[in-house]
Structure 1
């Protein structure tokens, strides 16, 4: 029912109560060839190369950490009447999408799409977003600009698809994570979340884009929208998403209160980084980030299987009464299970009593005897 190190299958069919969300390689939409329009409006930004400095000590001579990727995913419809989540779990984007990987080490792509108002937008984004990324001539040298452009192109292409077929009208949040060599890049638009486990500590690699968030509320109001009882324009409980062109007042060709622009977080992976959890908001409705890391870490120590770990995360969320569709992707960066963390004991402090103190104590005791 799930898949390890690959792209999930079944992209445009409805999901059963326990199983795989759809396969992006099988999704088609009417006149889809007309939708591959490059989006030139985004500013080009180049990620600067890290400067090389002198070797200061023998520690700098250690070989660089190279992640050994193992991944798995699991999904469940939960208490909802239909399944609107989709995920991608590709340990090699060169193999699955033909993208260039000029760095040594792995080149992987993982994503979760949480649909709302139907599954069409999630299926569409699952199919088109990675292709817009990996077919861009500037990938991976201008990676953030390329990914941001791909989000915008996917959004525009879906708007065109909806004009041809009104039944496609829907929306989806989107979170994508790329591993290239030792670099982890996370792009998020919506309320899915990515959490990195760094030696047992939860490091949030994305921010939930809720309308009530101060930053998002300000952006919404600056764009002519408003937040009513926690909902964007009283209609939607996320502040960023792909699609939703059918909802009045949320999107315009030149912008709007509902943004598809992703927010980026990047980090350099080291030997302390153990695994990454990517999940839809149904997971995070019942798990705090550190709680999820603690739970997953214990499970990986037991069996070291990212597929089984993702299934256990989903099942635990069901036990905790999550009321949403559930999808989780677990990406391990090392071949060994997470090590036991040894908490260093506090050094014992030897205390002594001075001769003067002993004399005073003896005098006190002699007084008691009298």
Structure 2
């Protein structure tokens, strides 16, 4: 747990953008922490590619240097890999992450502090295939016709596969933390946990090898949310989808939806027994336009939500007929009864 301010910094840094395929809104807030260590990337079209979009959230710890460098360079590393040129994007993610981590190791600025960062990254190619690469405990979800689908899973030290690797590398897990300190088991940086020269990069206590998920986007896929654990520690995935959809129905801009969700997560005060909501917060919403304008996308979500609400009402009416299933009065006789 980082140091906490006497009052939160609620100023938000928000951006938005769109092209013919996607629209996004993003926002970041320092909150109760003494520093802002998050960084993010929003690229509707990655330079030197054919229609590749890239979005990412980097949650820094121990300083902002690693997260900031990754936000500028990771996507460049991925598209520079030979596996990317061959069209093997899953391998390109893994190769690019390792190349990025080595570049950080060689960078004096990144090594100036024992810092690191998580990464939740999403790349969409021109065939509408979504690739999500993840390190650590940031998350990505997708709204499919109003229902959430997880696009990543957290890398926590007490996950069985992670804890086995940590122990085999000479580390240990205590209170859910690597060597009693680091609350995640995969990250960029954190080179104190990657110092065993006898082990390969995928065998170190902490590794920078992502899990990569692939999904072909369909007409039912509405939007995607990427966020750091400062969001997910406060609110569940389906509630996030519902929150976003409800504000889309109200035609709230995407970046404003991010701002409002962060405000909802932020506690008014902090107690020694509850630090929930005191982390830095960063969130990106990516709308899948599917051939529509942004305005038409909003109207489409409104129509879907309206129809789903109508069907839900009809289902309730059909299962509860008038006068049926009316609760019966029950009499209870305890020791003071008959």
Q: TM-score w.r.t. structure 1 length?
A: 0.70
User: Which residue pairs with 1:328 in the alignment?
Assistant: 283
Q: Is the 8 A contact 2:144 2:220 kept in 1?
A: yes
Shift of 1:307: 1.3
RMSD of the alignment, in Å?
Answer: 2.6
Looking at structure 1, the residues matched to 159 and 21 of structure 2 have their Cα atoms a distance apart, in angstroms, of 36
Shift of 1:288: 0.8
User: Which residue pairs with 2:323 in the alignment?
Assistant: none
User: Which residue pairs with 1:237 in the alignment?
Assistant: 183
Q: Residues 231-310 of structure 1: matches in 2 within 5 Å?
A: 231-246=177-192, 254-255=200-201, 256-310=204-258
Are 1:128 and 2:81 matched, yes or no? no
Q: May I ask how many residue pairs the two structures share in their alignment?
A: 282
Task: Quickly say closer, same or farther: Cα 1:157–1:253, change in 2 above 3 A.
Answer: farther
Looking at structure 1, the residues matched to 139 and 318 of structure 2 have their Cα atoms a distance apart, in angstroms, of 43
Looking at structure 2, the residues matched to 108 and 279 of structure 1 have their Cα atoms a distance apart, in angstroms, of 17
User: Which residue pairs with 2:13 in the alignment?
Assistant: 20
Give SS of 2:118's match.
strand
Q: Residues 76-225 of structure 1: matches in 2 within 5 Å?
A: 76-93=29-46, 97-101=47-51, 107-139=52-84, 141-162=87-108, 166-180=111-125, 181-225=127-171
Q: Is the 8 A contact 2:14 2:255 kept in 1?
A: no
User: Which residue pairs with 1:69 in the alignment?
Assistant: 22
Give SS of 1:212's match.
coil
Looking at structure 2, the residues matched to 85 and 250 of structure 1 have their Cα atoms a distance apart, in angstroms, of 28
Task: Quickly say closer, same or farther: Cα 1:134–1:287, change in 2 above 3 A.
Answer: same
Task: Quickly say closer, same or farther: Cα 1:99–1:92, change in 2 above 3 A.
Answer: same
Looking at structure 2, the residues matched to 310 and 89 of structure 1 have their Cα atoms a distance apart, in angstroms, of 14
Looking at structure 2, the residues matched to 151 and 319 of structure 1 have their Cα atoms a distance apart, in angstroms, of 35
Looking at structure 1, the residues matched to 55 and 194 of structure 2 have their Cα atoms a distance apart, in angstroms, of 32
Looking at structure 2, the residues matched to 91 and 331 of structure 1 have their Cα atoms a distance apart, in angstroms, of 10
Flag structure 1 segments of 5+ consecutive residues without an equivalent: 1-15, 23-66, 102-106, 350-370
Q: Is the 8 A contact 1:251 1:257 kept in 2?
A: no
Looking at structure 1, the residues matched to 185 and 141 of structure 2 have their Cα atoms a distance apart, in angstroms, of 20
Looking at structure 2, the residues matched to 216 and 125 of structure 1 have their Cα atoms a distance apart, in angstroms, of 23
1:299-321 deviation line (CA, Å, top 9, x unaligned): 11111521111112222211485
Question: Where is the strand percentage greater, Structure 1 or Structure 2?
Answer: 2
Flag structure 2 segments of 5+ consecutive residues without an equivalent: 1-8, 269-275, 320-338
**Larger CA Rg, structure 1 vs 2:** 1
